[in-house]
Amino acid sequence: MCGIVGYVGGRPALDVVIEGLARLEYRGYDSAGVALLAEGRLATAKRAGKLVNLRGALEEEPPPAGTLGMGHTRWATHGPPNDRNAHPHVDCTGTVAVIHNGIIENFAALRGELEEAGHKLGSDTDTEAVAHLLEDELKSGGDLAAAMRRVCRRLEGAFTLVAVHTGDPDLVVGARRNSPLVVGVGDGENFLASDVAAFIAHTRDAIELGQDQIVELRAGGVTVTDFEGRPAEVKEYHVDWDVSAAEKGGYDYFMLKEIAEQPRAVADTLLGRIGTDGRLTLDEMRISDQELREVDKIIIVACGTSFHAGLIAKYAIEHWAGLPCEVELASEFRYRDAILSPTTLVIAISQSGETMDALMAVRHAREQKAKLLGICNVNGSTLPRECDGVLYTHAGPEIAVASTKAFLTQLVAVYLIALYIAQVRGTKWGDEVFAMVQLLERMPEKVEKVLETMEPVRELARSLAGERCVLFLGRHVGFPVALEGALKLKELAYMHAEGFAAGELKHGPIALIESGLPVVVVVPPRARDVLHDKIVSNIQEIRARGARTIVIAEEGDASVEPYADTLIGVPAVPTLLQPLVTTVPLQVFACELATAKGHDVDQPRNLAKSVTVE
């Protein structure tokens, strides 16, 4: 949701800010804008639509050159995505500019108060109120940072705010509550951004900001305080990937690059976690073995694709660790009376570590004294800080809105956790855990093999670009894979797509089957004979009713051949690990079909990568 960049240093600020926005555009692309301080004046430019529109406007009317500025890409919450509602927003005097990510919940009351006092607000946004509040606070004395502190104390909701003021021409001020903001520390220059991708071309040294903190950014230094002005503790870290990871590297889309990176991402997520004796060592777990032995229930909370990883985790945890496991949509979790206790382990899965629904679920679990473990891909994000322990997935930056490599690495993380708990609690013999770990280590080569055979899947996808609906069926861990296949198709191709547990078909959904309807079926390995044979019967049932069957099954599974209009073979792997290979063709399918329809798969309509509002 909304990308934010701030810069102060020796370079032309406009270039740095626009380059940062280009790297953050995946966070929102409803409009874009910049504010620069130059020659003692504040210059702003903003345009509805993608960054390209703003670039065009800046070329037509170049702003004065300056070395301090900020920029914003918007995912609209309050007010439609037009020029007027695009950020930055300025005060009545035209000397203060503000950009914002999040939602200021008490904005209506603040706006009413401001209008009554004579302020003229020109947009429908919650953000604009902040510019006018800063105007009033600056009149009553102090610099921009002091004014921001006083304003933040009045705000409710979630926000990252960045502001500049002509009265403080060498200062950029940022504020953070419940929304992401990181500092990039350079040499004679400093950066602020929603995530490190914005400044990775300039520095890999970053500072993680905490809750309710204010950062003052000058070319020569960075000061962080809390909302009361007290010096705040911050965490410095070094980003372990470089600018090439945030570029397309010759691919047409980030999504294609990220699909191709999956073998390496899976391998990197396993790296350093398996000892020479075959025992797992999860250093960042930070929940003691004794505490893990006391756990009597696991609850997984997550959203979207991460939720699907959670559904697969349930099978692995119950099978290997022998613990009851529930999986909850994070957005629903805190609104029901889930029974939690100090012996409940809550696992929160989030690629970004910034998804507001996931963060709120974690805080709800914390209040009830549960142990908290995060699975997260972004170092420096909020979720790991709020959990007792964390397992990082080492997928590298995922920039396409549709999650692909993050999903596969989340699966690896949940397998590792399930096996680790089994090891600690002794629910599996050491050699059984080791045998499974060895199979896991072979998964990068299996995923690579799937990627090498994707041309027929691409062809199939192109041939189905005119369809209105596709159904996906699976059983056991194939069911969440079916859900994931349907989600990918919805978000990228804007097509009606549903995933069903194949056994549920006869309880209703089979009524949807009509002549020619494409139905993708994920078939379990032959070794799971009962499950396997049941789904083969399901395929026959839908085919008898006219469905066009697209079957994903183990290579050499002759039993499905007679009933498959299209057969996609994947390498043979154990049942629980099968999602690592069966998901990949579905990612490729959705990506190709959406591209054939002319869609931008990196920036699908109405979506944003990181959903930082509830």
Name the residues that contact ligand M6R, by CB under 6 A.
303-306, 350-352, 355, 358, 401-403, 487, 491, 610-611
**Minimum distance from residue 467 beta carbon to ligand M6R (Å):** 21
**Minimum distance from residue 339 beta carbon to ligand M6R (Å):** 24
Cβ proximity to ligand M6R: between 161 and 348 the closer is 348
Structural contact between residues 32 and 54, judged by C-beta atoms closer than 8 angstroms = yes
Own/partner long-range contacts of 106-112 (Cβ < 8 Å, ≥24 apart): 106/154, 106/155, 106/156, 106/157, 107/78, 107/157, 110/154, 110/155
**Minimum distance from residue 536 beta carbon to ligand M6R (Å):** 30
Going across the sheet that includes 221-226, the strands are 89-90, 96-104, 157-165, 172-177, 213-218, 221-226
Nearest to 353 by CA among 280, 413, 415, 422: 413
- Give one DSSP letter per residue of 572-583, joined into a string: ---GGGTHHHHH
Distances (CA, A) of 351 to 94, 348, 484, 614: 39, 10, 15, 17
| CA 566-567-570 angle, 5° bins | 150
Q: How does strand 371-376 pair with strand 389-392?
A: parallel
What sections of 343-495 are H helices per DSSP?
356-367, 382-386, 405-425, 430-441, 443-452, 455-463, 478-493
Cβ proximity to ligand M6R: between 487 and 519 the closer is 487
Angle, to 10 degrees, between the axis of helix 13-24 and the axis of helix 51-60?
Answer: 160
Based on the number of CB atoms within 10 Å of its own CB, is 226 exposed (0-12), middle (13-18) or buried (19 or more)? middle
Cβ proximity to ligand M6R: between 26 and 320 the closer is 26
Phi then psi for residue 32, to 5 deg, are -145, 155
Which residues in 445-578 belong to E strands, given as ranges? 469-474, 496-501, 518-522, 548-554, 566-570
Cβ proximity to ligand M6R: between 190 and 306 the closer is 306
Cβ proximity to ligand M6R: between 375 and 436 the closer is 375
Cβ proximity to ligand M6R: between 303 and 517 the closer is 303
Based on the number of CB atoms within 10 Å of its own CB, is 124 exposed (0-12), middle (13-18) or buried (19 or more)? middle
Q: 109: how many CB neighbours lie within 10 A of its CB? A: 12
**Rounded Cα–Cα distance for residues 33 and 17 (Å):** 10
3-state helix, strand, coil in the chain (%, to 5): 40, 25, 35
Quote the distance between the C-alpha of residue 154 and its chain's center. 29
**Minimum distance from residue 260 beta carbon to ligand M6R (Å):** 17
Contacts of 108 (CB under 8 A, 6+ apart): none
**Residue with nearest beta carbon to ligand M6R:** 304
**Rounded Cα–Cα distance for residues 415 and 436 (Å):** 9
**Minimum distance from residue 107 beta carbon to ligand M6R (Å):** 24
Question: What single-letter DSSP state applies at residue 272?
Answer: T
3-state secondary structure of 416: helix
| CA 193-194-197 angle, 5° bins | 75
Side chain identity at residue 279, one-letter code: R
Report the 3 state secondary structure along 590-601.
Answer: HHHHHHHCCCCC
**Minimum distance from residue 349 beta carbon to ligand M6R (Å):** 7
Cβ proximity to ligand M6R: between 495 and 542 the closer is 495
Nearest to 36 by CA among 5, 59, 60, 57: 5
**Minimum distance from residue 608 beta carbon to ligand M6R (Å):** 9
Cβ proximity to ligand M6R: between 163 and 361 the closer is 361
Distances (CA, A) of 514 to 490, 507, 509, 537, 543: 20, 16, 11, 18, 9
**Minimum distance from residue 579 beta carbon to ligand M6R (Å):** 15
Structural contact between residues 344 and 295, judged by C-beta atoms closer than 8 angstroms = yes
**Minimum distance from residue 334 beta carbon to ligand M6R (Å):** 15
**Minimum distance from residue 275 beta carbon to ligand M6R (Å):** 29
Cβ proximity to ligand M6R: between 512 and 607 the closer is 607
| CA 241-449-484 angle, 5° bins | 70
Cβ proximity to ligand M6R: between 323 and 522 the closer is 522
User: Has 2 been annotated as catalytic?
Assistant: yes
Quote the distance between the C-alpha of residue 97 and its chain's center. 28
Q: Which of these is catalytic: 314, 371, 428, 609?
A: 609
Cβ proximity to ligand M6R: between 377 and 538 the closer is 377
**Minimum distance from residue 104 beta carbon to ligand M6R (Å):** 22
User: Has 376 been annotated as catalytic?
Assistant: no
Q: Which of these is catalytic: 2, 303, 325, 376?
A: 2
Catalytic residues: 2, 609
